[in-house]
Each structure stands twice: as C-alpha cells, then as structure tokens.
C-alpha cells in the first residue's frame, strides 16, 4: 500500500502531522508493506527566494492578527509539538521560499533518502537556531549531507534552477486535482484522503480501512495455458 503525503517544510502542522502519522504507522500490523512518498506543496509559492522575514511578522500580515496573537499561536504549536516528542522553537524563527527544498526532496527520493532529508529539514526549520532560509545554499547542503546525500551532487542540483522543478510543479498540480487546498494532506492508495494533522487514532483507522479496501487480485484462467514456475517450464508434448 502506498501513502502519499503532500506537505511543506514551512508548515508546522506538517511537522506535527508527520509525527502523528508515524506513530500510527509504527503500530500498524502491515507497516512493512506500506510505502510512504512525500509530495511537494508550497504554502507561499509566490515569495521571492531572497524574501525572508520573521515568522511572527509573516503571520501578522497574512492573517491580520497582532504579533501577540501570532505568538500565542506559536506557543500553542510548541505545546502540540512537545506532546508528540518534537522540539519546537516558539521564538526567533523565520520564513521564506521552500522551492529549493522541494527540489532537493525529489532528488533525495531518487537516492532513497527522502524521508531522512525531510525529517532533517523539519528539524532544522522548527527546532534549530540556524535558519534554513537566510544562510544560503550552504545550509541546505549541510542538511542534505547529514541525510546521506553526496555534497557535490546536491550542490549541482541547487545550482540548476530547472533541476527537479517540473517534478515539484507536477506534485502541486496533482494536489489541486485531488482537492487539496492545504497541508498536510495524506492520500492512501489513491482511495482515501486525510486532511490535516489528525490525531494518531485517525491515521490508525485510515490505514486499517485502506488496507481492508484493497481489491484482491481477480484471476482470469481458462485452464490449460502453459506457464513457467519454480519447478521449470512445461515442455510441449506435440
């Protein structure tokens, strides 16, 4: 069974939702038969690459709230994250464009290191003091290397704005087609969708329901057709 997760590194609920989903997946009896794929979704796709601002200022402007209200929201998110065993800096974070991160995640998928990279990117953005937005590509390279990727290859991807750009845009178009207008958005076997950072119990129910709904293979066999098996191939007698 495949689970696709549309998310953005700048999305705190994606950070929390991933932890809740993984808690449910860890207890799922068929967890070894579940493939998890991370898909791209930018919350702020029109933001210029060099446009970095404090999170509180961004929230205040975007939602028309005071910085005190924005801070209260961050404090609530910090408590929610802590309940999932996650570190979360409620003060001093910044916000910027995540397109290069999504490009790197597609590269990491090809290398079999996507989950490692997204987890380190989340941690860097939400728990660590160094910014993933204002320190340039060097910061992203360090994170990618820590995830097990080759530094030279990562540097090459980041230096080419077209590298994996189509893959990111394709994910975003697909999200729109599926009706996802926010993240995190979980799609199970292209049959069930779960929107938002739901409690682990909801993900447990969704995993069980999706697993049970898988269509069994329908065999079409008129009988007598030759085939090869573990003991070899049938030899025609005439």
pLDDT digits over 61-103, tens only?
999 999 999 999 999 999 999 999 999 999 999 999 999 999 9
161-180 CB burial, b ≥16 within 10 A, e <16: eebbeebbeebbebbeeeeb
* Tokens 């909801």 -> residue: 202
Closest residue by Cα to residue 203 from 188, 214, 181: 188
pLDDT digits over 169-219, tens only?
999 999 999 999 899 999 999 999 999 999 999 999 999 999 998 866 565
* Tokens 């207890």 -> residue: 27
| Percentage of the residues of the chain whose pLDDT score is greater than 70 | 90
pLDDT for residue 225? 61
């Amino acid at each position: 069974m495949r689970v696709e997760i549309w998310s953005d590194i700048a999305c705190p609920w994606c950070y929390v939702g991933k932890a809740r989903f993984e808690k449910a997946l860890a207890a799922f009896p068929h967890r070894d038969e579940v493939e998890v794929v991370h898909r791209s979704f930018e919350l702020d796709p029109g933001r210029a690459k060099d446009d970095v601002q404090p999170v509180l200022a961004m929230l205040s402007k975007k939602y028309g709230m005071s910085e005190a209200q924005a801070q209260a929201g961050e404090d609530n998110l910090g408590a929610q994250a802590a309940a999932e065993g996650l570190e979360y800096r409620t003060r001093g974070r910044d916000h910027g464009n995540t397109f290069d991160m999504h490009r790197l995640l597609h590269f990491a998928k090809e290398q079999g290191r996507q989950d490692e990279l997204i987890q380190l990117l989340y941690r860097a953005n939400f728990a660590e003091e160094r910014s993933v937005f204002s320190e340039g590509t060097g910061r992203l390279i360090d994170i990618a290397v820590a995830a097990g990727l080759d530094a030279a290859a990562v540097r090459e991807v980041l230096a080419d704005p077209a590298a994996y750009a189509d893959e990111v845009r394709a994910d975003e178009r697909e999200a729109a087609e599926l009706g996802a207008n926010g993240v995190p958005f979980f799609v199970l076997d292209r049959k069930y969708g779960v929107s938002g950072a739901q409690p682990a119990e909801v993900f447990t129910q969704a995993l069980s329901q999706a697993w049970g709904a898988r269509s069994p293979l329908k065999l079409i066999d008129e009988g007598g057709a030759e085939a090869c098996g573990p003991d070899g191939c049938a030899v025609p007698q005439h």
